[in-house]
Amino acid sequence: MSGRWTEQQLSRLRALEALGLSASQIATDLGISKNAVIGKQWNLRRQARATKAVMAAEGVGLGALYICLEDGCDWSGDLPSDGACPCCRSALTAVRFGCGE
């Protein structure tokens, strides 16, 4: 990995983490080192802690990221208008995130 995370990698990391995969499993899925995953998870949690109060104050609720769990497909993003994966046309899985307070 070049040291910079793409939006697609970040979305996939968040989705796989929300599904309960370990750092090692996520690293294998993304094709990067386990240490890179752990470091990014730590940074994301630190950023989340810093912004959680702001989100709650602004009334931001839960959101969802949609992922495709089909073998060989690594798509993740907002829900397409037809509800199917744009790559392979499979059903998508919603992963909830955000401030639920």
Q: What is the Cα–Cα distance from 27 to 24, expressed in whole angstroms?
A: 5
Q: Which strands make up the sheet holding 62-67, listed edge to edge?
A: 76-77, 62-67, 93-98
Question: Mean pLDDT across the chain, nearest whole number?
Answer: 78
**Statement: the pTM of the whole predicted model exceeds 0.85:** no
Residue in this structure with the two tokens 């497909």, named with its chain if needed:
73
The percentage of residues in the chain with a pLDDT greater than 90, rounded to a whole number, is 20
Residue 54 pLDDT class (50, 70, 90 cuts): low
Q: What is the Cα–Cα distance from 99 to 94, expressed in whole angstroms?
A: 16
